[in-house]
A and B are shown apart, each in its own frame.
Chain A
Amino acid sequence: MKDAHHKGEGHQEGHGTVYKYGMVINLDKCTGCGACMVACMAENNIPFRKEDTNDRLTQNFWMRVYKISNGGSFPDNDICYLPRPCMHCEGHGHHNRTPCVTVCPAVATDYNHETGIVSQIYTRCFGCRYCMAACPYHVRVFNWWDPKWPEGMEEYLNPDVSPRMRGVVEKCSFCFHRLQRARNKAYSEDRREVHEDEYQTACTQACPAGAITFGDLTNPEHKVYELKKTPNAFRLLEVLGTNPKVYYTSSRAWVRKAADVYVGKEGSGVTHT
């Protein structure tokens, strides 16, 4: 199947080929500069309030950089920055479904089996916030306020992304509009394949350290394919069975350990995509 979609054979949208877009984030490279967060906010028209910039509980981030520490004192102290987009969980085993998708009562969020992207339909969501309760990564955020931008900034909004109204949930979409754009381009050039460099998320491109790699996890020609298999690769909270499509790599053992509460059981029972 992989080969088939490479050669572009038999790939028709909606009829077969499965992509699984995902990320590999190298935590050894991340400096915590926050460029990915800023790029994401600009790309996706995320509203912000000056009053809330320090209140991480009501401010909306699609990409959020966490600072984690090994808790040691000098000279053994070490810190690590961990960028956290939506994991676009696939679910597996007897949790064969994305945690947030199955719970949504109005089908306002969906797992796309062609791209592996978990979508969010803002005009369908009625703000019950059940999906937020279901997501263990605090990925989903709610529009507590009416969206507002500083005077004049509305002019700079991205026309490809619809701004959200208050009272709905939003989250990282892996810049899905960029995939649509790339697909349109490919289509106009009579191609069925979207090249790796044609579809990259805003955070990937913004990262000055090159810590984020994005691509199709099932395509051996994409960088993420090999990267996710490196021995230092892990995912957040693997033991829960959410089967995320965002991988992290770190050469530091404590960082790998810190990714899963259930120390000692890291990586067990996980099927790699």
Chain B
Amino acid sequence: MFDSALIPKGVKRCSFAKFFIWVLILHIPVLIGTVAAILCWGLALNQTYLNNNFPFGLWIAADLGIIALGGGAFFTGFLRYVINIKELKNIVNYAVVIGVICYAAAQGILAIDIGQPIRGWFIFWHANVHSMLTEVAFCIMAYFMVLCVEYLPLLLENRQIFKFSVPRSFAHHLHEAMPTIAAIGVFLSCFHQGSLGGVAGVLYGRPFAYREGFLVWPWTFFLFILSAMACGPCFTILITKITEFFAKKKLVKKSVVGILAKISGGLTTLYVLLKIIDTLGWFGLVKEAGAPVKSFYANQPYGWWVLVMEVIILGAIPALLLLNKKTRENEPILILACVLNCAGIVMNRWIMTVQALAIPVMPFDKFVSYHPNWVEWATTLLPLWVGAIVIMLSYRYLPIFPQERELNPY
């Protein structure tokens, strides 16, 4: 093969031509997304369906969702390096790759979303330390650096680079320092996952989103951390399964996936319980203020079904499926549970941003609905395609899956 010198030893990859054609095909949606992004930068945000009633739309909801899904990186890192579950070394690399993609995506989307991208650095330079968004920006930026450092040893392990002694020993020492780096990552992640929850939770002008809390943090702060820890591993499993599907071979042992699924099941259950308590507490809060709870669910499409869907169908059901050993070990059911879990978190992020803005606060305000247009979709999906290319490259040229050789001898 043309590039066989770069491919890790002892593993099989498809032909270069096939690989190249796939990368080329993926460039089509990448191109569309890039055009959409250039439209937003060049012609301003009137290219979207955002408006003064919906200053936040698909982008912010997707951002929150992507970061929650990317939470698998910090949580798996935490389990592997801090708690020291050795088995997880077989999936932690991939969790890092997924994390890098998710966080790069989130920052990219934000760069399109803000009205004056050139002034984006103001958030760091003129920071208002009381704003949840500042906390988000600082921690995401710093955590992205952490992820890049975690990705670095993988990159250095490419066969050709690894031949040289300096990169090799650098990678080796980075591996040794990984517990420290992972701990920094956990510290940063807890804060930004939480403050993403705080973003909506502190809006006391929006009773739908507002929550009381502990010190400066509303309850949503803690719920968001927990939900990211619960669904992040599910997303890692899901992407691993998709990769296995396309690679047509097993890459990670069932037992490894099982550990993640089990932990995720426990955390999802805890999250759903706390979410129910939080919702009931919020019912009490708005009732005390004199607002009928049903008024928050009176506008279609945001009826009661949203709550049922989020908490029961996309919350309790995957939690139970993951908790139960029998269902967890059945692969199709495991995949279903992961899909439901991830969808539930993304839905939660949509609810906390878009639905929170959709519900009229002034009594004479009219409900208006919002749906994203193609520009928003194309830019939001852009990271998906770029991510797929990054995964393809990483999978082809880097030894991401330590168990691949053992599982597929040839």
Q: List A residues at the B interface (Cβ < 8 Å).
A: 56-58, 60, 66, 68, 82, 95, 97, 99, 102-108, 124-130, 132-138, 140-146, 165-169, 236-237, 239-242, 258-265
Contact = CB atoms under 8 A, between A and B. Distances in A.
A142 B45 contact: yes
Contact of A262 (B56, B291, B357): B291
A106 B207 CA distance: 24
25 contacts: A57-B368, A105-B128, A106-B123, A107-B128, A108-B122, A125-B116, A126-B119, A126-B122, A128-B114, A130-B199, A134-B206, A143-B115, A144-B46, A145-B46, A166-B44, A166-B115, A167-B45, A167-B115, A237-B362, A240-B205, A240-B207, A258-B364, A261-B361, A262-B290, A264-B290
B127 A105 contact: yes
Contacts of B134: 105
Complex A-B, nearest 3 residue pairs according to Cβ-Cβ distance, in ascending order: A127-B115, A167-B115, A129-B55
B169 interface: no
Interface of B: 44-46, 50-53, 55-56, 113-117, 119-120, 122-123, 126-128, 130-134, 137, 199, 202-207, 289-291, 295, 353, 356-357, 361-365, 368
Contact of A99 (B133, B203, B362): B203
Nearest to A68: B364
Contact of A168 (B115, B126, B365): B115
A82 B362 CA distance: 12
B290 A263 contact: yes
A8 B64 CA distance: 52
B82 to A, nearest CB: 30
Contacts of B50: 144
A239 B289 CA distance: 7
Nearest to A55: B51
A129 B133 contact: no
Nearest to B126: A106
A168 B117 CA distance: 11
A260 B364 CA distance: 9
Given A130-B131, A133-B203, A167 B363 contact: no
B368 A127 contact: no
Nearest to A261: B363
A133 B241 CA distance: 38
A265 B120 CA distance: 42
B293 to A, nearest CB: 12
Contacts of A108: 122, 126
A46 to B, nearest CB: 13
